């Protein structure tokens, strides 16, 4: 069943656009990255604050922040010796909310993986 939205996506999809979407989706395909993004919905934060809030190691947080930066999902601001991260685009929050809703709906009745 095709919807107007699906038809629009099909007609406007380009190989480059699909490649870019896959690149961003891969960056989101990690629970720690999703937790970092959710933390950043509350505003700009330092690595140490993210580490403290999420209970992960500093090297792990830095690794995931590097990947999120590479995918252009977070932006970086230096202030003296500190580095602060924030979401690069507020649409990321909408996408995560929609993805969470979809995942919840799809997995509600799932009994095996």
Q: How far is CA 113 from the centre of its chain?
A: 23
> What pLDDT score does 38 carry?
95
Share of the chain above pLDDT 90, in %: 73
Round to whole Å and give the CA distance between 102 and 25. 15
Round to whole Å and give the CA distance between 80 and 95. 33
Q: How far is CA 92 from the centre of its chain?
A: 6
Q: Tens of pLDDT along 9-36?
A: 666 778 888 898 899 999 999 999 999 9
- Domain ranges in the chain are 30-107
Residue 74 φ/ψ, nearest 5 degrees: -125, 155
Q: Tens of pLDDT along 50-94?
A: 999 999 999 999 999 999 999 999 999 999 998 999 999 999 999
Assigned CATH topology for domain 30-107: Arc Repressor Mutant, subunit A (1.10.10)
């Amino acid at each position: 069943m095709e919807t107007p939205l699906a038809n629009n996506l099909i007609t406007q999809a380009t190989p480059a656009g699909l490649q870019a979407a896959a690149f961003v989706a891969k960056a989101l395909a990690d629970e720690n990255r999703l937790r970092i993004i959710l933390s950043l919905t509350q505003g700009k934060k330092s690595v140490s604050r993210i580490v403290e809030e999420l209970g992960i190691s500093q090297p792990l947080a830095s690794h995931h922040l590097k990947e999120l930066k590479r995918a252009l999902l977070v932006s970086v601001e230096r202030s003296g010796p500190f580095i602060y991260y924030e979401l690069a685009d507020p649409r990321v929050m909408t996408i995560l909310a929609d993805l969470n809703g979809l995942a919840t709906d799809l997995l509600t009745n799932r009994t095996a993986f």
